[in-house]
Structure 1
Amino acid sequence: MPRTGERGGPLTRARIAEVAARLFLERGFDAVTVAEVAREAGVSSVTVFKHFPRKEDLFLDRTAEAAELLRSAVRDRAAGVDVVASLRERTLGLLDARDPLGGLDERSTPFFATVAGSPTLIARAREIAAELQETLADELERDAGFTGDAALFAAFFIAGYSTILVGTARRLVAGEPRSELLDAHRARFERLFAALHHGLASTAC
């Protein structure tokens, strides 16, 4: 039988994710079991897996959000706005809002340190990047206003984004203050979009 008060829904999912993140940050991802997360969250292991099919997704839990941002950047851009400009606007918006997907919110240092300490999380992060690349390419293929090589463009963007995040993560884990990395982090993104614009100008309509 389910434990008292156990039920599905966004609140349960959020509680599980919060408990899991705290335990992983405190003890390391590989040292914590799903059963421990479930017990601490007051739910069953079955409920945990209902919301998070893989243990890694308890920590890397923003894949769906990232995928929807990519789709929206293509699908919902205003008339006359190319894909590069739309992606730039959304990316810089993440940075300005200190959103975790931008790579420099206040929890970034412990988050990146935890990922770096787990080969399992590193492997899953690479899989997620490949999934997001496919998501963007598929959306571009369906977009009538984009006439270039969707797969190539998506590969460049996701690889560039990942490279910037990894570079900043290494500096944070090495002990550099987050406040001192903000400008450099943003400047690298600007260079990425400049390269996409100038290097793929004819394909980013």
Structure 2
Amino acid sequence: MAEGLRERKKRQTRQHISDVATGLFMARGFEAVTIAEIAEAAEVSVNTVYNYFPTKEDLFVDREEEVVDRPSRLVRERPPGRSAARALMDQLRQDIRERHAYVGLSEGYERFRQVIVESPALMARLFVIQGKAVHQLGVTLREEAGAAPRDPTPEFIAHQLVGLQNAVLRSIIRGLSEGGGVDQVAEDALREVDVMESLLSDTVLNYAVKNTP
């Protein structure tokens, strides 16, 4: 269905507010910026900001739903014959090789990372997002594997796979903050993915292999 004028204007307004807020956060830090300042810079009312973004954290993580769903989406879209774990690790390696923002290797990410680590509110929100991703991936794995309702395996595997990705991201951030070049940090990260994969059990590595049609 084609997007109507009203929906398009709402989407554009939301994006405009988000872009303005991001610019202010990058310039001054998350904690230093108020909703009133964002509203003034975006030339909208404070109530309009809150209509689109219930909390200030929502302005910074306006792609939260996409981030939460990404592991599950990659599992759902994996090719036949591929397990859930290998689908996620394949994508992780690709993100590293392509220097993607998802793994913190894109240009300009350093300031983004700095804003997050300097804000207790954003660090807490990041923890919540990671928990949501684990939960959603667990639901997806249960569906994909046809696991019994009381089988805890999908949730346990979801914790391992999301934890693996988070460990690699932390390693990348640490490497960059210590002055490592992007290419060297990426090489190190790829080796770490190999090590982590070697530590996963066969059960995890071969869980939820997609059937061939």
For the criterion TM > 0.5, the same-fold answer is yes
Alpha-carbon deviation of 1:91? 2.2
1:59-98, aligned counterparts within 5 Å? 59-98=60-99
Equivalent pairs, count: 199
Alpha-carbon deviation of 1:76? 1.9
1:175–1:53: structure 2 CA closer, same or farther, 3 Å change rule? Answer: farther
1:1-205, aligned counterparts within 5 Å? 7-9=9-11, 11-144=12-145, 149-196=153-200, 198=202, 200-201=204-205, 203-205=207-209
Alpha-carbon deviation of 1:117? 0.7
Q: TM-score, normalised by structure 2?
A: 0.81
The question of whether the paired residues in 2 share the 8 Å contact of 1:29 and 1:114 is answered with yes
Instruction: Return the letter of the residue paired with 2:37.
Output: E
Q: TM-score, normalised by structure 1?
A: 0.84
Alpha-carbon distance in 2 for matches of 1:104, 1:191: 20
Match of 1:4 in 2: none
SS in 2 for 1:15: helix
What's the RMSD between the two structures over aligned residues?
A: 2.5
Instruction: Return the letter of the residue paired with 1:179.
Output: D
Alpha-carbon distance in 1 for matches of 2:62, 2:179: 25
Alpha-carbon distance in 2 for matches of 1:143, 1:41: 44
1:99–1:201: structure 2 CA closer, same or farther, 3 Å change rule? Answer: closer
Can you give the 5+ residue segments of structure 1 that lack an aligned partner in the other structure? 1-6
Alpha-carbon distance in 2 for matches of 1:65, 1:43: 26
Alpha-carbon deviation of 1:86? 1.2
Structure (1 or 2) with the larger CA radius of gyration: 2
The question of whether the paired residues in 1 share the 8 Å contact of 2:84 and 2:208 is answered with yes
Q: Which range is displaced more, 104-113 or 159-168?
A: 159-168
1:84–1:120: structure 2 CA closer, same or farther, 3 Å change rule? Answer: same
Alpha-carbon distance in 2 for matches of 1:132, 1:37: 29
Instruction: Return the letter of the residue paired with 1:67.
Output: V
Alpha-carbon distance in 2 for matches of 1:146, 1:97: 34
Alpha-carbon deviation of 1:204? 4.7
SS in 1 for 2:180: coil
Alpha-carbon deviation of 1:149? 0.8
Instruction: Return the letter of the residue paired with 1:171.
Output: G
The question of whether the paired residues in 2 share the 8 Å contact of 1:17 and 1:59 is answered with yes
1:191–1:103: structure 2 CA closer, same or farther, 3 Å change rule? Answer: farther
Alpha-carbon distance in 2 for matches of 1:192, 1:146: 25
Q: Which range is displaced more, 13-22 or 73-82?
A: 13-22
Match of 1:3 in 2: none
